[in-house]
Structure 1
Amino acid sequence: MDQQPNYITPSGYRRLREEYEALFSAERPALVETISWAAGNGDRSENGDYIYGRKKLREIDRRLAWLSKRMKSAQVVDPSRQEDRARALFGATVTLADQDEKQRVITLVGEDEADAGAGLVSWNSPIARAVRGARVGDLRVVRLPSGEREYEVIAVEYPASV
C-alpha cells in the first residue's frame, strides 16, 4: 500500500510533541495515582472513581499511541526554507479570489495541523490539491461537494527565513 508522507511544519510538530509530553508526564501519572487510590477503597465494581479513571486512562493511552505514531511518521518541512517561492507548495499562504471577487486566504499545512476556521487547510484537501504548484495569476478549478468553483491565485507567500 502506497502511503503518502506525513508532512508537517515545525510548529505543528512542536504542538504534537507538547501534547504528548503533557499527557505522558502530567495527566497520565496523576490519573494512575487516582486509580490506585480508588482501587484501595474496596469494591471496584461500584467504584465510580476507579471505573471512570480506567476508562480515561485507556483514552489517554490511545491518544499517546496515536501521537507517537504520527510523530514517528512525520516529515518536518520548514516552509521558510522553500526555494521556489513563486509556486504554491507545502507551507505556502495563498490568497485566492473566486468569480464574485471574494478573497480567501489559506495556508497549506499537514493533516495533523489543519484548522479550516483559521485558514489552515490540509495539503491533501480538495482546495489545496487544486492550488498546489500554482503561481500568481493562475486560474484553478476546485471540485467541492457543492460543485465546481474557479479561483484565481492572487498571492503566494512563505514565512520569512529565520
Structure 2
Amino acid sequence: MREKETIVTSEGLKQLEKELEVLKSVKRREVAQRIKQAIEFGDISENSEYEDAKNEQAFIEGRIITLEKMLRNARVIENGNLDKNTVALGSTVLIKDLELGDEIKYTIVGSVEADPDSNKISNESPVGKAILGQKKGEVVVVEVPAGKLEYKIVDIL
C-alpha cells in the first residue's frame, strides 16, 4: 500500500522538520528524565507520575513516526511559480460570500498545514475542493452540512 502524499509549502516543511527535531532532541530527553525520577520513587505499580510519563513517551514516539512518514512523503508546493489565473494549491484567494456579502482571504494548503484561524484551508475541505481549479470571477457552490454556500472568486493573489 502506498503511503499518502503530504502536501506542504516550504514554510510548512520547515515547521514539520522543526517539530521533529524538538521531539527527538528535547522532548525525548525530558520524558526519559521523568520516567527515571518516577522509578526512583519506588513502587511503579501505583505511581501515577510513572504512568503519565510512559503515556507521554508513547505519544512522543508515535508523533515522531508520523512526522518521519510525512517528511518522507512530502511534496513541497512553491508559491512563486503559481498561475495567478487559476486557483491551485498554495494560491491565496479572495472570495466573496454571496449570501452575506463578506469577503474572505484564504490560502489553499495541504491538510497538514490547515489552520482556519490563520485563514489557511485544506485542499480537502469543502471550500478548498470547490475553488481548486476555478478562475477569477467564477461562482462556486459549496455543499456543507448546513446546506449550500455560494462564493465568488474575487481575486487570485
Report the alpha carbon displacement of residue 71 of structure 1 after superposing the two structures with TM: 1.4
Identity of aligned residues (%): 29
Q: Does residue 54 of the first structure (1) align with residue 54 of the second (2)?
A: yes
Residue pair 2:4, 2:73 contacting (<8 A) in 1 also: no
2:88 matched residue in structure 1: 89
Q: Does residue 63 of the first structure (1) align with residue 73 of the second (2)?
A: no
How many residues are matched? 156
Report the alpha carbon displacement of residue 40 of structure 1 after superposing the two structures with TM: 3.3
- AA of the residue aligned to 2:59: E
Residue pair 2:90, 2:107 contacting (<8 A) in 1 also: yes
2:153 matched residue in structure 1: 153
Deviations 1:67-115 (A, max 9, x none): 1111111111111222x22111000111111223211111100111101
Residue pair 2:5, 2:70 contacting (<8 A) in 1 also: no
- AA of the residue aligned to 1:109: V
Deviations 1:19-43 (A, max 9, x none): 1111110011121122123223321
Unaligned runs of 5+ in 2: none
**CA, structure 1 residues 110+17, in 2 after alignment: closer, same or farther (shift >3 Å)?**
same
1:72 matched residue in structure 2: 72
2:13 matched residue in structure 1: 13
**CA, structure 1 residues 81+107, in 2 after alignment: closer, same or farther (shift >3 Å)?**
same
Q: After TM superposition, which residue ranges in structure 1, 4 or more long, deviate above 4 angstroms?
A: 1-4
Report the alpha carbon displacement of residue 3 of structure 1 after superposing the two structures with TM: 6.8
Report the alpha carbon displacement of residue 151 of structure 1 after superposing the two structures with TM: 1.1
1:143 matched residue in structure 2: 143
Distance 2:4 2:58 in 1: 29
Secondary structure in structure 2 of the residue aligned to 1:80 = coil
TM-score under structure 2 normalisation?
0.91
Distance 1:143 1:133 in 2: 17
TM-score under structure 1 normalisation?
0.88
Cα RMSD, aligned residues only: 1.7
- AA of the residue aligned to 1:137: G
1:128 matched residue in structure 2: 128
Distance 1:149 1:51 in 2: 48
Deviations 1:100-135 (A, max 9, x none): 321111110011110112211001111111111111
Unaligned runs of 5+ in 1: 158-162
1:160 matched residue in structure 2: none
1:42 matched residue in structure 2: 42
Residue pair 2:3, 2:73 contacting (<8 A) in 1 also: no
